[in-house]
Structures are given as structure tokens and as C-alpha cells.
Structure 1
Amino acid sequence: MLQIESLSVAYGCIQAVKGIDIQVAQGELVCLIGCNGAGKTSTLKAIAGLLPFKAKQALFKHDVNLLNMPAHQRLRHGMALVPEGRGVFTRMTVLENLELGAYSRHTGKQASKADLANDLAYLLDTFPRLKERLNQTAGTLSGGEQQTLAIARALIGKPDMLLLDEPSMGLAPMMVEKIFEVIQQVHLQGMTILLVEQNAHIALQIANRAYVMDSGLIDYTGLASKLINDPRIRETYLGQAPA
């Protein structure tokens, strides 16, 4: 689904990402973890087209070349971003936010009323809390509800791959658990996901594979189930001293 080779991102003379390789297979949930300033969000924004980057290769779905492709075109090819901070339209209702998400499918065509009705019904069944809040303005929702709305708004655009940037940021521990239940549910329904997350423990619990990033480089990569038990990862990123 995604194949990135030698990705680099710079802010002026500061090299934030220093030539990393990332691959995500169809149907995988891959997480990118690391400390603050490691380059995780810069990597995700580059993949989404929100930051200029250099790469030896950047392919989506085998033959879509991401080099120099504007962000809106990536959306039309089936790549959707749920940004850090959620980015919901606070003065619009939940329903209006979802309708905007459905406006341009990755086919490049506006959703028909029948398609929108069917997809909306499915999402509201999947996320019943949003159904209860359908006519509320998004700004009146809790942080966790806004994060669920941001995910649902991306999904209604019928993407092939979902990019999630720090979905747990600013949420209470109980809401973090609920949001990750939503992410896991979406993944189990077949969605390919690349997740950037500072909460390494919970990310590794639900991911298939993981990349561990530090100072713009990939330090470790492998199965999440193995990395979560790696003494080096436990001490550095999970706050647990090795036995």
C-alpha cells in the first residue's frame, strides 16, 4: 500500500527526518513511535503532502508516485489524514462535518445522496455516540468525541489508507482507551492504517508492526508484539526497567 525509501524532511538547515524507509502492506496497522522531536509528525505530514520532502522513492498503491503530488490529489487517490489536534469544524454540526468529509471521494466524484445516506448510516451504527450528537455543533463535543468525529469524517471519504497523527493527544486516560478501541475496530474492518503515536504502550498493543524513531532516524523496526517485550524499548519508550 505504501513504500517510502530514503525520506528526508528539513526545516531550513535543520534536518528533521534523515533518510528513512517505511513500508505499509494492505490491511496492516503500522505504528510510528518515539519521543517528542523524533520526527514522527514531520514524517506523517510529508507522506500526507503537507510538508515538502525528498525521497528516493515514494509510492502509494504500487503505482501512485507521491513525489511532488499536492495533498488534495493524495486524498483523491485514497489517502486520508486525521491530523494532530483533530481539526474538526467547530461551528458546524456533526452531520455537516461528515457531509464535508464525503464531498470528494477518492474517485474524484462527489458522493451521490444515496451513497452518502448508506455510508452515513453505517458510520453512525459504528459510532453510536456521534448519532446521539448528530445535530450538535462539533465545538460542543468532548475531546474524545471530536477525535471520533475526525476519524469518521476521514472514513466517510472512502479512503484506502488512513493516516492518524497523535490521536490520544490531550485526552483523559479513559478517553484514550475508547479512541484506541475505535481505531482497532476500524482496522479489524479491513482499513490500512499508519499511526503516529507518543503513547508507545497502547500503540504497540494494537499494531501489527512498528517503527521506533529517534532524532530523525529509525532505530528499531519489527513486529509490535516483539518490540513491546524488547528490554531496550521497555526502558526507553515504555518507562519500564528491564528485568
Structure 2
Amino acid sequence: MKNKTAKLYEVDLYKPIQNYFIQREYEVYGEVNHCDLIAVKENELIIVELKLNLSVELLIQATKRQRLSENVYIAIPKPNYSLYSKKWKNICYLIRRLELGLIIVSFLKSKGQVEIKITPSHFDRKKSMQMNRNERKRLLDEIKGRNGDHNIGGSNKTKIMTAYKESCIHIACCFERFGPLSPKALRNIGTGKKTLSILNKNYYGWFTRIKRGTYSISELGKKEVKEYPQLVHYYSELIESTSEIK
């Protein structure tokens, strides 16, 4: 039985996987022309690359093996984090995207337990895009809702300008220019169909309800909107160019 504190080696993965395929009537061979494990049954050729950790190098190695067979697996020990986590789901997506298979080996019992998590298969890119068409739409809508590029790609732990925040700035500028307004009056100026939702949710605390159907900018809004001078200037000029409030 493997002790939890015992050091694990790549060779420890070999025997359980060898037994798994032998039980399924494959002939199994180790270290054949730099391939860690080969399983053969009639015309079927399976190649398995063994590693203790999933890495870019392992994925490169496995995709190179796809020159030799459509049935290429990577095998790793069972991770110590949840297989329901976002991290694991993203890993599985990448493996499917590369049309590889995935085997995990658990050493919790006296013998290593083998589980085929992913079987190599064709990845349908068009189907994947179709399934994510709503996410694509949200991406394009976000772009349409922005006026210029106010973020630096790759930024971390910095304030990100979104279409939602731009709408808040636009509404704030309207209040600064005209004073308290109704959602309908704001939409007539051009603040968009989400105006009422933005005012009700008041995510940033920039707005205040004066009375039923009438809103204004809060003291916090007056203070924080000054942090975005370029957009304040843009929307102030835009407001001046719009027609008179109906």
C-alpha cells in the first residue's frame, strides 16, 4: 500500500495501467521508441505517456504521439484538489480540445486504481462555438458598449473599465448637466435600455432616488466619477450634442 507521504515516481503509474489494459486483452509494452506505454489489440494501437504532473511539455509530447496513433492518452496521479473545481474542468477542456485521452491513477488502496476520465475523440469546434453562442454575443455586446480602449491587456488587480461602468459614467454626466431626471428622460438623452436597471441596482452607489421615478447623482458619485476624466469629457460633449430633453 502506498503511504501518503511516500514519494511517487512515474514508474509507479506503469503497473496499474499495464494491468488495466491486460485485463481488457491488450498486449502491453513499456518504453517502446520513447513511448512510455504501448497497448495493442488487433489493429488498435494505444499510446500512454506517464507523468507525475500535467505540464505543457507533457501535452507537447502527447500531441507528437498523435502522428503515430489516434488513441493517445496522458496518465497522471489523481490530483489532490477537487475534480469538480473550475481548474479541473478547464484542464479537461484543454485535453479534449487537443483530442487526447486522460487516465488518472489513485493510490488510496493497496493497488493503484485506474480510471479513464477522457477517451480520445474528435473535437467539433463548430459545435463548441454554437454551444457558446450566448457568451460570444455577450462579448460583442460588451465591445459595442465601450467607447474607446481604456484598459491595458494583461492588467492584474487594477480597475477595469467595462461597458456597464461607462453607462454609469454617462448617466452621472447627465445628472451633472441637467440635475435630477427620470429613467425615461435619461433614455431619451441616449443612456440606453438598461438605464432603469442601473439606477435600481446602484452597484457603485453613485445614484440616489429623489422621489418615485426621479433620480440624481450622489456625493460619492460626484467624487468617484472624477477618476475618469477622459470619459467624463467624452460623455459631456456627447450630451451637449444631443437634442433637447423631450
- Scaled by the length of structure 1, the TM-score of the pair is 0.28
Instruction: Indicate the structure with greater strand content.
Output: 1
Which structure ranks higher in relative contact order (CA pairs < 8 Å, sequence separation ≥ 6)?
A: 1
- Scaled by the length of structure 2, the TM-score of the pair is 0.28
Instruction: Indicate the structure with greater helix content.
Output: 2
**Greater Rg, structure 1 or structure 2?**
2
